[in-house]
Amino acid sequence: MSRSGSRGAPLSRWSQYGNADPVVMDGWCSQVLAGPSVLFAANGLTLDAAGHLVVTQLFGGQVSRVDPSTGASEVVLSPSMGATPPDDAIHLHDGRLALTEPFAGAVSIMTGADGLQRLPYDLPGANGIATDPERRRLFVTEFREQGRLVEVDPDGVAPMSVLLEDLDWPNALAEFDGALYFPLVHLGQVRAYELATGKTRIVSRDLSLPTAVKVLADGRLVVSEAGSGHITAIDPMSGVTEVLAELEPAVDNLVPAPDGTLYATHFDTGKIVAVGNGANREVLGPGLIGPYGVEVGADGTILIADGVSVKVVESDGPFRSDLHALVDFPWLITAAVRVESNVLVIVAHGVGILEWTPEIEGSDRLLAGPEQIEDPVGLVLDPDDPTRVLVCDRARGAVWSIGRDGTMERVVQGLEEPQAVARDAAGRLWVSHGTNAVSVHAGDEVVTTLEGFGAPQGIAVSAGRVLVADVERRQLVGVDVATLDRYVVMHSAPIGPPDTVGVPFGFCAITADASGFIVGCNGDGSVRRVTLKRPRFDAASL
């Protein structure tokens, strides 16, 4: 199921599932423009008895064990074992690992190498998890509006006790000296709940999106601040603060080790940083989490919708995270296109299609909600009209054209689960749909339907060629626009989730650029440029 790697050559999540390296056909080449996170993001963090980091990964439904000295990683829980995406974890007195599962609204206990027991409690948004010093009592916060702080029985026998309710987005917590300390993320506070008396108090204010609280050996609290990237120590009685480290924004969780080192996770890139002795060290470097959507701007800059962040690749340089969930926006972004230099149209999961100017607070404007487009996927700019986007409604079998002015036109209908759409130079629409098909549409006419694909997803047109993501066969398939001849461009393509159970929002997106295609490989988590070694630009074939 899993292998380990070294810090010098960490395994990607693709290789952890044992898949073969991609094979590109003669005449084509593939270049990695942005690499993956070794993990499916890095969220909750704790230590096992051997001093290894145990990292939960909300976007991959897995838990990994990481050697903090070498970065070697090993998957200890995957979706195929029955897990739903976990957010935080803690060990109990007998070595069992307790996990929160926000999407399931539950807490589960790992009962062995491949056993998982879900406790019989309803916990919407279950997120932070902590124990008492004896590791026999189990406390959970719900990360949501009107969230709760509760105690549950690790054996699932006793009824749940609600300690506090109507909390504003409480997150990862810790117990110290008879009290539970937890952050209220959007209020910027850390609060205390005394277990003996039930009294509460505010410990600290004006923090920058505090996401987790743990306890240092000297009795101070230590807090991760997602907004600023600060790791801050707080005296639990006086509230006096000290910034211990300045990391990048989107820091998620942290854990102190016995030797005084602090380890912190980043939810946007999967990075894990060790803080100690006045210096920071990367245990695992940053990478992509999805990716879920890719788009190329007029200046050649690549925009990557990566779920909890929007990343940018300029030329052939490394990516940077421009925008972060929680810090800059409240959604999960599964697709993004640039309609002006500073204006985006995005697919926000569960919300709809929005126009948004990130630099302007409150600028998001709904273009189409779930009532109009139930399951938007495959968002692209319309090359025939840069004021409009094309998007598929997977649930209702249609392709829509949406203007920035809010106008909507259904341009294709009657398809089975359309996934992606692209327009060729003749104005025809190429749509991947159903379990095996790509169809070509000119107005209301279906020009042709090509069958024989396997779960086709992303599609794009460039210089008389179409590239289709055949996810089932893990192939990138080329189609000649003029002759409709097909050929495999890449075998063993790193597309499609490595473990198809429980990986949310999995999608392989493709877009065209001046030299060929940009592919969001959601299997290994990379973004790749796929081009002909000697491209032929024949306008007559478009």
Cα–Cα distances in Å, from 213 out to 266, 307, 373? Answer: 15, 25, 40
Report the alpha-carbon distance of residue 323 to residue 160 in Å, rounded.
38
The confidence score (pLDDT) of residue 316 equals 67
CA 244 to CA 522: how far, in whole Å?
A: 36
Q: Average per-residue pLDDT in the chain?
A: 91
pLDDT at site 498: 62
Whole-number pLDDT of residue 115: 79
Q: What is the DSSP letter of 50?
A: T
Q: DSSP secondary-structure letter at 15?
A: H
Task: Specify the CATH number for 293-534; select among 3.40.630.30, 2.120.10.30, 3.40.50.300, 1.10.1740.10.
Answer: 2.120.10.30
* Angle subtended at Cα 149 by Cα 145 and Cα 151, rounded to the nearest 5 degrees: 145
Task: Write the CB contacts of 206 (distance below 8 Å, at least 6 apart in sequence).
Answer: 188
Contacts of 417 (CB under 8 A, 6+ apart): 394, 395, 397, 433, 434
Where in the chain are all domains bearing CATH 2.130.10.10?
40-284
Residue 318, pLDDT score: 83
Taking only the tens place, the pLDDT of each residue in 311-344 is: 999 876 789 899 999 999 999 999 999 998 889 9
How much helix, strand and coil, in percent to the nearest 5, is found in the chain? 0, 50, 50
d(CA 286, CA 318): 10
Dist CA 436 CA 199 (whole Å): 60
Q: What is the CA radius of gyration of the chain?
A: 24
pTM of the model: 0.90
Predicted local confidence at residue 111, as pLDDT: 82
Collapsed DSSP state (helix, strand, coil) of residue 173: coil
Which fold does the domain 40-284 belong to in CATH?
Methylamine Dehydrogenase; Chain H (2.130.10)
H or E element: which one contains 16?
Answer: helix 13-16
Q: Give the position of tokens 């969001």.
A: 520
Q: Is the dihedral of CA 221, 226, 227, 229 positive or negative?
A: positive
CA 43/CA 55 separation, integer angstroms: 7
- Asked whether the beta carbons of 301 and 513 are under 8 A apart, the reply is no
Q: Which residues contact 326 (CB under 8 A, 6 or more apart)?
A: 185, 209, 211, 226, 227, 250, 267, 308
CA nearest to 402, candidates 411, 392, 389, 420: 389
Element (H, E) at 61: none
Q: What is the per-residue pLDDT for 502? A: 47
pLDDT at site 288: 92
Taking the C-alpha atoms of residue 376 and residue 182, their distance in angstroms, rounded to an integer, is 36
Domain with CATH 2.120.10.30 in the chain: 293-534
Helices and strands: H and E segment counts in the chain: 1, 49
Strands 429-433 and 437-442: antiparallel
**What is the pLDDT at residue 14?**
61
Q: What is the pLDDT of residue 59?
A: 82
Taking CB atoms within 8 Å and a gap of at least 24, the contacts of 514-517 are 514/300, 516/462, 516/463, 517/460, 517/462, 517/467
DSSP string, 21-45: PPEEPTTEEEEEEEPBPSSS----E
Strands (DSSP E) found in 247-375: 251-256, 262-266, 272-276, 279-284, 293-296, 302-305, 309-313, 319-324, 333-340, 343-348, 352-356, 365-368
Q: Which of 180, 161, 183 is nearest to 170 (CA)?
A: 183
CA-closest candidate to residue 513, choices 322, 389, 390, 383: 383
Residue 14 CB contacts under 8 Å (≥ 6 apart), including other chains: 36, 494, 498, 523, 524, 525
pLDDT in tens, the chain (542 residues): 233 333 334 455 666 555 568 899 999 999 999 988 888 889 999 999 999 999 999 887 889 999 999 999 988 888 777 778 899 999 999 999 999 999 999 999 998 766 789 999 999 999 999 999 999 999 999 999 999 999 999 999 999 999 999 999 999 999 999 999 999 999 999 999 999 999 999 999 999 999 999 999 999 999 999 999 999 999 999 999 999 999 999 999 999 999 999 999 999 999 999 999 888 999 999 999 889 999 998 888 999 999 999 999 987 678 989 999 999 999 999 999 999 888 999 999 999 999 999 999 999 999 999 999 999 999 999 999 999 999 999 999 999 999 999 999 999 999 999 999 999 999 999 999 999 999 999 999 999 999 999 999 999 999 999 999 999 999 999 999 999 999 999 999 989 876 544 455 579 999 999 889 999 998 888 999 999 986 444 444 44
Annotate 388-447 with three-state secondary structure.
Answer: EEEEEECCCCEEEEEECCCCEEEEECCCCCEEEEEECCCCCEEEEECCCEEEEEECCEEE
**What's the pLDDT tens digit per position in 135-181?**
999 999 999 999 999 999 999 999 999 999 999 999 999 999 999 99
